[in-house]
């Protein structure tokens, strides 16, 4: 049973480009969470999704960031017009039910030049 999968593991973008980060939850998990970790800081919640629904996006920046979790396929975190401050590790986690243990993927390290 594969764990949470994220790709790409590393992503380099120039300022102004778009970044797309993908997350496939563990088999049977329908709850997906995205977190961001800036260098030398803790993880910060961004968004919580269930299939086809955004449940809580209180941690998402108001502009340039969006997330989806379609009926088929992985969850996508999309960052438009990236800036250097977007450079961070982006982790996805999934759980089987609400309030159950969240299992993390290996993360995508985004570097904006």
Partner 1 sequence: RKEVEQDPGPFNVPEGATVAFNCTYSNSASQSFFWYRQDCRKEPKLLMSVYSSGNEDGRFTAQLNRASQYISLLIRDSKLSDSATYLCVVNADTGRRALTFGSGTRLQVQP
Q: What angle do CA 110, 46, 40 make, to 5 degrees?
A: 55
95 vs 112, beta carbon nearer partner 1: 95
Interacting residues with partner 1 (CB under 8 A): 31, 33, 35, 40-45, 48, 55-56, 58-59, 89, 91, 93, 98-99, 101-107, 109
Alpha-carbon distance of 87 to 57, in angstroms, equals 20
Least CB distance to partner 1 at residue 18 (A):
24
Residue 17 or 37: which CB sits closer to partner 1? 37
Q: What's the min distance (Å) between Cβ of 47 and partner 1? A: 9
Closest CA to 35 of 51, 56, 63: 56
CA–CA separation, 113 vs 16, rounded Å? Answer: 10
CB of 110 to partner 1, least distance (A): 14
| 13 vs 35 by CB, closer to partner 1 | 35
Beta 108-112 vs 10-13: how paired, if at all? parallel
């Amino acid at each position: 049973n594969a764990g949470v999968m994220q790709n790409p593991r590393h992503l380099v973008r120039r300022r102004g480009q778009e970044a797309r980060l993908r997350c496939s939850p563990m088999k049977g998990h329908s709850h997906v969470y995205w977190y961001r970790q800036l260098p030398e800081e803790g993880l910060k919640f961004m968004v919580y999704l269930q299939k086809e629904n955004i449940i809580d996006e209180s941690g998402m920046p108001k502009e340039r960031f969006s997330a989806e979790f379609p009926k088929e396929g992985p969850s996508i975190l999309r960052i438009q017009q990236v800036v250097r401050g977007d450079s961070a590790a982006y982790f996805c986690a999934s759980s089987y039910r609400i309030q159950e243990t969240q299992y993390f993927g290996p993360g995508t390290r985004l570097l904006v030049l």
